[in-house]
């Protein structure tokens, strides 16, 4: 089963600038995420990966990537992963996020969002924890998050 989001991702991957085009389309639909200029590098059922380039507009006063920029990247990748994995007749909304800042974040960062349990259709709503790990170019985990998604039947 493929969701409309996943179908769009696969269609755009055929083009040389497909990753860039998909990332721009996502930011057009959800403009707030454009503030960090993310790049979605992988999207499939149960997994989303994205990068955040270390540039001046995402830095804090000490010259590292700002904590909230990493929160934005985590929320974006988690939301795209859930949307790409969404069973027919279901909807989702983020309910909360717990984060840990593990090290100073410098350089291009890569986020990986994974569900903590299978995403399934249900007659009643349920909580779905999504784990997001953000690593720097050396592979050091600099940030982690658990984003609580509320999954429920579409009305």
pLDDT at 25 (0 to 100): 95
Give residue 109's pLDDT. 98
| 3-class DSSP assignment, residue 149 | strand
Q: What pLDDT sits at residue 1? A: 59
Domain range enclosing 34: 4-153
What pTM was computed for the model?
0.94
pLDDT score for 7: 94
- In tens digits, what is the pLDDT along the chain, a chain of 155 residues? 578 999 999 999 999 999 999 999 999 999 999 999 999 999 999 999 999 999 999 999 999 999 999 999 999 999 999 999 999 999 999 999 999 999 999 999 999 999 999 999 999 999 999 999 999 999 999 999 999 999 999 98
User: Could you give the number of structural domains in the chain?
Assistant: 1
121: three-class secondary structure by DSSP: coil
Query: How many CB atoms neighbour CB 142 within 10 A?
Result: 21
pLDDT attached to residue 2: 75
Q: Which of 48, 43, 42, 47 is nearest to 118 (CA)?
A: 47
Please spell the DSSP secondary structure of 23-83, one letter per residue. Answer: HHHHHHHSGGGGGG--EEEEEETTEEEEEE---GGGB-TTSSB-HHHHHHHHHHHHHHHHH
Residue 65's CATH number: 3.10.129.10
């Amino acid at each position: 089963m493929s969701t409309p989001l996943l179908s769009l991702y696969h269609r755009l991957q055929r083009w040389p600038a497909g990753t860039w085009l998909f990332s721009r389309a996502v930011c057009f639909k959800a403009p707030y995420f454009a503030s960090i200029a993310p790049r979605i590098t992988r999207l499939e059922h149960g997994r989303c990966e994205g990068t955040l380039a270390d540039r001046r507009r995402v830095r804090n006063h000490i010259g590292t990537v700002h904590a909230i920029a990493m929160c934005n990247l985590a929320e974006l990748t988690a939301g795209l992963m859930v949307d790409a994995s969404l069973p027919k007749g279901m909807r989702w909304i983020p309910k909360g996020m717990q984060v840990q800042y593990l090290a100073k974040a410098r350089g291009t960062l890569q986020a990986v969002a994974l569900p903590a349990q299978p995403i399934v259709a249900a007659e009643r709503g349920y909580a779905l924890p999504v784990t997001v790990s953000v690593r720097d170019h050396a592979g050091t985990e600099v940030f982690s998050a658990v984003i609580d998604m509320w999954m429920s039947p579409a009305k």
